[in-house]
Structure 1
Amino acid sequence: MSSEGYSSDLEVVSKNMASSELNDSVDSKFTSPEDSPHQSIAPFDMDAGKKFSDVKLDTSMINGDSRSSIDAVLNGNGHHGSTISPEDASNDPMLASALMSPLQAPLNIEAMFTPAPGGKPPLQRAPTILQRTHSDANDWELYKRAGPRYPASLEQLIMKYHQKNSNSWQLAHDMGAGSGVYATNLARFFRHIHVSDPTATGIATSRKTLSAWSAENPKKRGRFTFSVCKPEEATEAFTDNSVDLTVLMDSAHFTDAEATVRSAAQTLTPGGTLAIITHRPISHVVGNEKVAVAVQALFDAWGPRPWEIACGADTKSQQQFSLGLDFVPLPDDLFSREKSRRITINARSAPREYFRVPGVQGEEEEDSDGAAAMPMSPDEMLEMATSRVGDREKRVHYGEEDEQGRGWRYEVGWESFRTRVAVLDTPETVARLEPRLKEIERLIMKTSPNGVTVVIECAVAVVLATKK
């Protein structure tokens, strides 16, 4: 989440639509400043020598497809033009999103989340982790793409919360988006999705990915725009009170949380939603104690590598991550405390236990041997991340048994653990951990009911807030 290469260029991915469709579909929130009665795009501070008139701005719009009802889509009977196979979908969370069929207007949230006949859905197979197919792929993008798929329950959690407090579906902001993994989910609901990231590399990746995705999914509801922008400076990309939903996925701990929240709030409409989500970088085995112990021993022997990719190497980011989003403030002057929700999924209401980075000292904590931690200097104490949870904020915990927490469990074979190490680390590390991987294989074959797989679950933290 560094800020190198910062600029305010705005790029637009769009489709070539017939002029008759265009006239009916363009929303004033993202037309050019000259045409928009709301003046929804703020003038940008351009780099030296660059004029605002040089920024490419295309007002094409993608409409929903009226040929398929939402119920038919969710039951698997809706029309879609994708040729992606279910196997491909399991390999890549973004391809899985691309399989979703088109929306029809007006948006019907209740219909979208009506449970399919047959009761509780079966446990999903974990997605196969992507291999290093591109030489320019960096560890952070591999980590995000190799992580758990965002299940439908997360969309339900966010979108029903938003519908209850706003129900406006014009403009969403995916900030700190990286390669834009979650932007495709937002395209199911919002007419415009603005994708921002602090680095030009992140925006180049997301623009390429989402351009290809848009070409394969021409009937999706939303279109995408892009800017290089830090989460703390969201006001550089929007005028005040113009965004309906802002999401920050898996990267809040890299930011100045106070500045990020205030900047996002300034751009949100009254009643708009701020959604912040993060997940634990390593999963834990449930329902098989022997394998759970062996897998934890594997991760302990692996060392700090997965945590360093997820949290960075600096102390402040790791301390913030260790609080499981409790470090995120929701100031009384900006957000309704009564409507805010601090949610944990598969974390047993103990985010600090599940999200704590090994070796990171927190508030009034001891080291792993039970001894008092080394005293910190005054400067270190001032910089230490602390909880910002208010007295009137509501905490909620969900598990796999709850509709809102469903979908974060997967069945995996022992080779899934090897693949995760191989993707995020070196061949030498895989070789070093081979005896532990073989022990996991042996235990699964011996203790698992089918002798092949075990169940893992991912711990998740969510903050939902409504602007006053």
Structure 2
Amino acid sequence: MTTEMDWDKSAYYRQHYPPSLDKVIMEFHRAHSNSLRLAHDVGSGSILFASRLAEYFQHVHVSDRKSANVERARQRLDSWHAENWWKGKFTFSVTPAEKAHEIAAQGSVDLVTLIECAPWTDQDAMVDSVARSLAPNGTLAVVTTNPAPTVIGNELVNALVREFFDFWINALLQELHPNSVISKRYLAQANSGVECVPLPEGKFIQDVTKRIDINAHGRGSAAHALPGHEDMALPSRAHSDHRRYEFSSEDPEGRGWRYEVEASWFRGVIGTTGKESRLHLYESRLREIERAVTETTSTGTVTIEWTVALLLATRK
């Protein structure tokens, strides 16, 4: 298990969630609800969004299906709250996304966020549970990013990076979920972005729902396909009334999803899973990436861009 210091350092090697994401979510919420009492960060895991929610909400509940993740979140937020004691308060529970309604009185939660965890869930059960917890006009926000970033303007490095992430994702799935049924469900749902997240008509207002792609560059769901698994996707479950938007890193809504990293950044990705002892399995691929970056750039850096899918929905 990683230490708290290791965990904080590893944040550099994960997706950076820019202020533009907070702005898009909160502008949508405020357009439909005036309540900022209670938010629920579902499946917080390693992608801790709760402190961001505490900038707006009086109370934030943090949940995850794994007790180790909840304990890590508690430790991090203890430190955060000590320096920001006048902002939102936190509570915690070991609760799977499919039982999100169990954390509070039915119909009392103003905003529910699922940052990266939706592909891991039984999405019908998850949406049903979230809907039971949401207050009228409450917001469901689902965010997923393709775990393999695109290297911009360097096709050689980009091809090597895709090969590396194909190998890394397969190895990670085999270790975390030897049950092939769970892994296949994750791959199919991750490849679909937020297209396969259902929003029953009796529970959500269809014509205000937003389905947003960032840095998809006109490729639709194909932009979210994981390297090596491009043939795995699910049919869209979007309603015809849902509003669709596409933004790039040049737009205010998509700003912050593109930035420069050093060649060593890809090596650091392995450490985010606490599996440094298995670094040797990736060594040859990492050396290829580092050599290619050195040979094709004068700065020793490359620009990476994340592909993002965002679903914003309002409870009836």
State whether TM-score is above 0.5.
yes
Task: Give the C-alpha shift of residue 444 in structure 1.
Answer: 2.6
After the TM superposition, which segments of 4 or more aligned residues of structure 1 sit over 6 Å from their partners?
134-137, 141-145, 309-312
Alignment of 1:105-124 (within 5 A): none
- Counterpart Cα distance in 1 of 2:52 and 2:92: 16
Asked if the contact 2:146/2:225 (under 8 Å) is kept, the reply is no
Which amino acid is 2:222 matched to? E
Higher relative contact order (CA 8 A, sep 6+): 2
Larger relative helix fraction: 2
Residue 345 of structure 1 pairs with residue 194 of structure 2: no
Alignment of 1:76-91 (within 5 A): none
- Counterpart Cα distance in 2 of 1:152 and 1:207: 23
1:397 aligns with 246
Q: Given the superposition, is the C-alpha separation of residues 424 and 252 from structure 1 closer, same or farther in structure 2, using an over 3 Å criterion?
A: same
Moved more, 206-215 or 331-340: 206-215
Which amino acid is 1:420 matched to? V
Residue 455 of structure 1 pairs with residue 316 of structure 2: no
Q: Given the superposition, is the C-alpha separation of residues 326 and 224 from structure 1 closer, same or farther in structure 2, using an over 3 Å criterion?
A: same
1:209 aligns with 76
Q: Given the superposition, is the C-alpha separation of residues 177 and 303 from structure 1 closer, same or farther in structure 2, using an over 3 Å criterion?
A: closer
Task: Give the C-alpha shift of residue 402 in structure 1.
Answer: 0.6
Asked if the contact 1:311/1:317 (under 8 Å) is kept, the reply is no
Task: Give the C-alpha shift of residue 351 in structure 1.
Answer: 5.0
2:150 aligns with 284
Structure 2 residue matching 1:344: 3-state secondary structure: strand
Which amino acid is 1:264 matched to? V
Q: Given the superposition, is the C-alpha separation of residues 216 and 451 from structure 1 closer, same or farther in structure 2, using an over 3 Å criterion?
A: same
1:293 aligns with 159
Residue 164 of structure 1 pairs with residue 31 of structure 2: yes
Alignment of 1:303-452 (within 5 A): 304-306=170-172, 314=182, 315-357=184-226, 358-359=228-229, 362=232, 385-424=234-273, 430-431=279-280, 433-448=282-297, 450-452=298-300
Asked if the contact 1:321/1:355 (under 8 Å) is kept, the reply is yes
Residues 327-351 of structure 1: per-residue CA shift (max 9 Å, x gap): 1101111111111011111122435
Residue 243 of structure 1 pairs with residue 92 of structure 2: no
- Counterpart Cα distance in 2 of 1:439 and 1:179: 28
Structure 1 residue matching 2:69: 3-state secondary structure: helix
- Counterpart Cα distance in 2 of 1:165 and 1:411: 36
Task: Give the C-alpha shift of residue 298 in structure 1.
Answer: 3.4
Alignment of 1:42-121 (within 5 A): none
Task: Give the C-alpha shift of residue 170 in structure 1.
Answer: 1.3
Q: Given the superposition, is the C-alpha separation of residues 208 and 440 from structure 1 closer, same or farther in structure 2, using an over 3 Å criterion?
A: closer
Residue 187 of structure 1 pairs with residue 54 of structure 2: yes
Using the size of structure 2 for normalisation, the TM-score is 0.86
Question: How well do the aligned residues superpose, as a CA RMSD in angstroms?
Answer: 3.0
- Counterpart Cα distance in 2 of 1:136 and 1:419: 11
Q: Given the superposition, is the C-alpha separation of residues 230 and 441 from structure 1 closer, same or farther in structure 2, using an over 3 Å criterion?
A: closer
Larger Rg: 1
- Counterpart Cα distance in 1 of 2:222 and 2:243: 19
1:229 aligns with 95
Which amino acid is 1:350 matched to? R
1:128 aligns with none
Identity of aligned residues (%): 38
Structure 2 residue matching 1:304: 3-state secondary structure: helix
Task: Give the C-alpha shift of residue 166 in structure 1.
Answer: 1.2
Larger relative strand fraction: 2
Structure 2 residue matching 1:240: 3-state secondary structure: coil
Q: Gaps (5+ residues) in structure 2?
A: none
Asked if the contact 2:14/2:269 (under 8 Å) is kept, the reply is no
Using the size of structure 1 for normalisation, the TM-score is 0.60
Q: Gaps (5+ residues) in structure 1?
A: 1-130, 364-384
Task: Give the C-alpha shift of residue 211 in structure 1.
Answer: 1.5
- Counterpart Cα distance in 2 of 1:260 and 1:430: 35
Residue 265 of structure 1 pairs with residue 265 of structure 2: no
Structure 1 residue matching 2:15: 3-state secondary structure: coil
Structure 2 residue matching 1:294: 3-state secondary structure: helix
- Counterpart Cα distance in 2 of 1:403 and 1:206: 30
1:56 aligns with none
Structure 1 residue matching 2:44: 3-state secondary structure: coil
Q: Given the superposition, is the C-alpha separation of residues 300 and 258 from structure 1 closer, same or farther in structure 2, using an over 3 Å criterion?
A: closer
